[in-house]
Structure 1
Amino acid sequence: MAKGQCTNQELSNLLNELWKLDVNRMKPGRDYKIDLQGKAGFVSEGSNSARDCARAPLFSHVNENKLKSIDTYAYFITLLDNYETSTGVAEQVTKEELQENSLFLDAVLKTEVMKCAHRYLVSKGRAQSDMAQFKRQLYDIWFKLYRRDKSGAEDSCGFEHVFVGETKHGREIMGLHNWIQFYNLEKQNIVDYKGYKARDKKDTPDEDDHVLNLQFSWNGLVKPVGGCFIGVSPEFEVALYTIIFLLSGEHMTNVRVKVDEYLLEIVVYRFGRYIGTSYPKLISSNNRDL
């Protein structure tokens, strides 16, 4: 897989196909509204103090009826309270939670987004054509527990880290790269949006952008910058990160792609046979040829 500063054209073409198939993606201005407010400031390494450049929440409106009525969103939301946020604390998975994981994957696998991703991975020899086997593969990649804190028990999985978020020894936010979880925590006054992080002075995001670099605090801890898709469906993110994970056997993969109007760097870390983390980094968001 091509990495570095060159845009991966094959992967860009595939992701644009997934983008077009993502009929469950929320529409900015109608299904949700965001309030970008100010540009976030610099946070020194190890610091949990940040100037608040956004007095109001990031999300001023989200169509909750749509979240409840679309299966992939509804099942996704049931998973958000299934985890201990602190690393080093063993996860206790109930039969009900195992069933919730399975129902979520069933819903995702019914979408055209994941069907397309599956066909591509089969063509590359990275997945079996049998859908039941592919579901087991997805389950292992995303939900199989592992030890993120080497001194503790099985305390983490790819889904928890990427979509739910974790804290490390009460000192550092890890993961939490999902807009639905961010909105969910904002509603509970647990997350405090601090402002957007532009790539440079000329690259200010718009309120209809589907990708943001942002800064926030969570339970008294500050994440200086985190990349996040906005409004996309759960199946789009699962498909995107799964494809990149399975195409590369390296510990860290960073690939540059052009998706819709966004020039992105997609970063995926491998934790053995499982996803350690994955997120988008917005490089630019305009309609010029990039």
Structure 2
Amino acid sequence: MMILRNCALILAAVALVYTKPVQNVDLAAVNTFLTNLAATDVRTDSMVTLSYQNMASKKNPDHDNAKDPLFTSVDASVYGSATYIVIADLLPFFQFDCDQPIPTSNNGYLDAVDSFLTNYINSDAVKAAWTFLQAQGVSTNDATAFRTQLKNLWFTPYARNSVLGSNGFKSVFVGEASGTVMNRFANWFGFYIQENSKTFDYHGWFTKLNVSALFQFDCCLAFTDIEK
């Protein structure tokens, strides 16, 4: 699935940058690997229907120029797959506010982390990434050690301010906010879940670019109940 392939891209990039001197990295090999991985991506575009509606108001972003949700429909085969289920199971343990600690001692959270890692490691995308990282000399061929490497990469908490309220998973799949200002949000599935729960209210788009039959856009949204 597309999410796991994105995870593999991040894994490859971060592991190479932070565990090996940049001057020793074979950038051509990195580019080839990422290009090949993207080419084999199993896309979900045809299974998701979006309603972009009107351009958002730049003068008054609080004005809702999109009366309907951004997501018209998402096929059940997408959010019902194991990949998306393990992500959805982790989301309730996080809050947008980076000054709220991650519940690292909560048994439910730890079980959800383990389920995510198991699904992640067993995907073809991450298997390919692991093989590539071994060839680059930045990952071990020991499965237990590799799982620990991934867990540290995604789930070791760090502080944006003074509280250990962020980690890699949260930054990518959940999003981060200060007050009512969203600082980081990089995942369509998280957006879909938040819109369904009425936490996000899509107000329209600012710019749209048609890239390879996909739309990339900056959008305007309002969100409530941020502490939940």
Give the TM-score normalised by structure 1. 0.61
* Residue 40 of structure 1: aligned partner: 56
Match of 1:84 in 2: 95
Report the AA paired with residue 183 of structure 2: M
Q: Mark the runs of 5 or more structure 1 residues left unpaired by the alignment.
A: 2-7, 222-290
Measured in 2, the distance between the counterparts of 1:15 and 1:210 equals 21
Q: Match of 2:214?
A: 209
Please tell me whether residue 159 in structure 1 is matched to residue 153 in structure 2: no
Distance 1:106 1:137 in 2: 13
Percent of matched pairs sharing the same residue: 25
Q: Within the alignment, does 1:123 sit opposite 2:135 as a pair?
A: yes
Cα offset, 1:195, TM superposition: 2.3
Partner of 1:75 in structure 2?
Answer: 86
Kindly indicate whether residue 35 of structure 2 is the aligned counterpart of residue 16 of structure 1.
yes
SS in 2 for 1:129: coil
- What secondary structure, in the 3-state scheme, does the structure 1 residue paired with 2:54 have? coil
Q: Is the 8 A contact 1:185 1:191 kept in 2?
A: yes
- In structure 1, the residue matched to 2:200 is 191
Distance 1:196-1:126 versus aligned 2 partners, 3 A rule: farther
Tell me the amino acid that sits aligned with residue 160 of structure 2: R
The AA in structure 1 aligned to 2:169 is F
Residue identity matched to 1:158: G
Matched residue SS, 2:92: coil
Match for residue 231 of structure 1? none
2:78 and 2:172 map into 1 onto residues whose CA distance is 22
Q: Is contact 1:83–1:160 with CA below 8 Å preserved after alignment?
A: yes
Q: 1:163 deviation in Å?
A: 1.0
- Corresponding residue for 1:55? 67
Shift of 1:187: 0.9
Q: Return the letter of the residue paired with 1:188.
A: S
Match of 2:78 in 1: 66
Whole-Å separation in 1 of the counterparts to 2:188 and 2:58: 22
- What does residue 178 of structure 1 align with? 187
CA contact (8 A) 2:209 2:217 kept: no
Aligned partners of 1:72 and 1:13: how far apart in 2?
A: 25
Whether 2:118 is the aligned partner of 1:106: answer yes
Amino acid at match of 1:187: N
Higher strand share: 1
* Cα deviation digits, residues 146-169 of structure 1 (max 9, x gap): 22222xx3222121122112221x
SS state at 2:214 partner: coil
Helix, strand or coil: the match of 1:205? strand
CA deviations over 1:135-194 (Å, ceiling 9, x no partner): 2111111111122222xx3222121122112221x1421222111110111111111122
Distance 1:41 1:120, change over 3 A: farther
Name which of 25, 28, 44 aligns with 1:26.
44
Aligned residues between the structures: 200
CA shift, 1:97, in A, is 1.1
Q: Confirm or deny: 8 A CA contact 1:39 1:197 kept in the other structure.
A: yes
List runs of 5+ in structure 2 lacking aligned partners.
1-16, 18-26
Q: State the alpha-carbon separation in 2 of the partners of residues 193 and 186 from structure 1.
A: 8
Q: What is the DSSP-based 3-state SS (H/G/I as helix, E as strand, rest coil) of the residue aligned with 2:66?
A: coil
Cα separation, partners in 2 of 1:52 and 1:10, compared to 1, 3 Å: farther
Give the Cα–Cα distance (whole angstroms) in 1 for the partners of residues 164 and 198 of structure 2. 29
**Residues 16-56 of structure 1: per-residue CA shift (max 9 Å, x gap):** 32223333x3132xx1101122233437xxxx944433222
Hey, what's the Cα distance between the residues in 2 that align with 1:76 and 1:161?
A: 13
Distance 2:172 2:209 in 1: 25
CA distance in 2, matches of 1:121, 1:136: 15
1:65-99 Cα offsets, whole Å, 9 max, x none, are 4322x221111110111113222222223112111
